[in-house]
Amino acid sequence: MSVAALHKVDLKPKDYKSEVSVVWCPGCGYHGILNSIYRALSELGVDYSNLMAISGIGCSSRTPYFIKSYKMHTLHGRAGPVATGAQLARPDLAVLVTGGDGDGYSIGGGHMPHMARKNVNLTYVLYDNGIYGLTKGQYSPTSRPELKAYTTPYGGPDEPLNPLLYMLTYGATYVAQGFAGKPQICAELIKGAMEHKGFSYVHIFSQCPTYNNIDTVEFYRELVRDVPADHDTSNLGAAMELARRDAEGHAPMGLLYKIDKPTLDERLAAIVTKVGGHAGYDINKIIDLARP
């Protein structure tokens, strides 16, 4: 969601904090992600009266409560469609979606590819802790088989989803990955995502000290490696190779992919202009234009 055209303000990160107390568990990585969002908003100079924060259900989906903004706490997995509608109705606002691995890739998994392929002009920050935290420890689409969770006491039966490959395959125009233990890097990636015009996806690894005892801070520190300095972020094939992880199983941290393409709101505006605008709406003309 490019914020370049928005009215800029001079606010500190703390100025974006709402009056609602943060309720996440001590040691949760989401604290670091939230601070990264505050920092990105401050560096961009986003006026919170021009910001729409939208989420689904889950620990991460509490985020809008903690940010000064317009906000919507929607149904489980449905943040994407609601955010798409909000962006199309108010393209003058910056739209920020926050959600977790379960919300985005389980019940909400059917919506993710369509936001990407349509290039909806918004930023989606996904907090991945490999577990359902709010409902007390169920296996999620990104859980590792070794995790003995509430629903998988003997370990998981399947391999975890690769969110980066998922987003790259379906056409996201900005794809990045961070780790909550590196908040400065996360802030830079979120800032870049909000500056980008198009569907921006930022995937952030986060520890859950309460329900996930294998994906610890130490585990993630060993897992992530910086994207190579010479990586061509416009090369889809190179981005997909990085997303598959290296021979030692390390995950990339940084910007993997970024290209410019027309956004959904731009394409729709072009169609409206083509048929004569709202005042000249004629269903027969639309049917004629749609014919081969």
Mean confidence (pLDDT) of the chain:
93
pLDDT of residue 4: 59
Residues in the chain: 292
Contacts of 58 (CB under 8 A, 6+ apart): 76, 99, 100, 102, 103, 132, 133, 134
Q: What is the pLDDT of residue 272?
A: 84
The predicted structure's pLDDT at residue 31: 97
pLDDT of residue 246: 85
> Tens digit of pLDDT for each residue in 20-70?
999 999 999 999 999 999 999 999 999 999 999 999 999 999 999 999 999
Q: How confident is the model at residue 290 (pLDDT cuts 50, 70, 90)?
A: low
What is the structure's pLDDT at 151?
87
- For the chain, which residues make up each domain, given as ranges? 13-259, 262-292
State how far the alpha carbon of 2 is from the alpha carbons of 48, 95, 216, 260, in Å: 15, 10, 34, 11
Which of the two residues, 12 and 135, has the higher pLDDT score?
A: 12
- CB neighbour list of residue 227: distance below 8 Å, 6 or more residues apart: 242, 252, 253, 254, 255, 256
Rounded Cα distance between 88 and 269, Å, is: 10
At residue 11, does pLDDT exceed 70? yes
Distance (Å, rounded) from C-alpha 198 to C-alpha 149? 36
Q: How do residues 262-276 score in pLDDT, each as one tens digit?
A: 999 999 988 888 887
Please write the tens of the pLDDT for every residue from 179-193: 999 999 999 999 999
Calculate mean pLDDT across residues 222-235: 97
> pTM, whole model, 2 decimals?
0.93
Mean pLDDT, residues 90-112: 94
Q: How many degrees, rounded to 5, is the angle at CA 179 between CA 178 and CA 185?
A: 55
By the 8 A CB rule, do 186 and 178 touch?
yes
* pLDDT for the residue numbered 273: 83
For the segment 191-211, the average pLDDT, to the nearest whole number, is 97
Q: Which secondary-structure segment (H or E) carries 25?
A: none
Q: How far is CA 20 from CA 16, 65, 66, 68, 113, in A?
A: 11, 6, 6, 10, 33
* pLDDT on residue 282: 59
DSSP class of residue 76 equals: T
Answer yes or no: is pLDDT of 283 > 60: no
For 13-259, the fitting CATH number among 3.40.50.300, 3.40.50.970, 3.90.180.10, 1.20.1250.20 is 3.40.50.970
134-161 residue pLDDT tens: 888 889 999 999 999 888 899 999 999 9
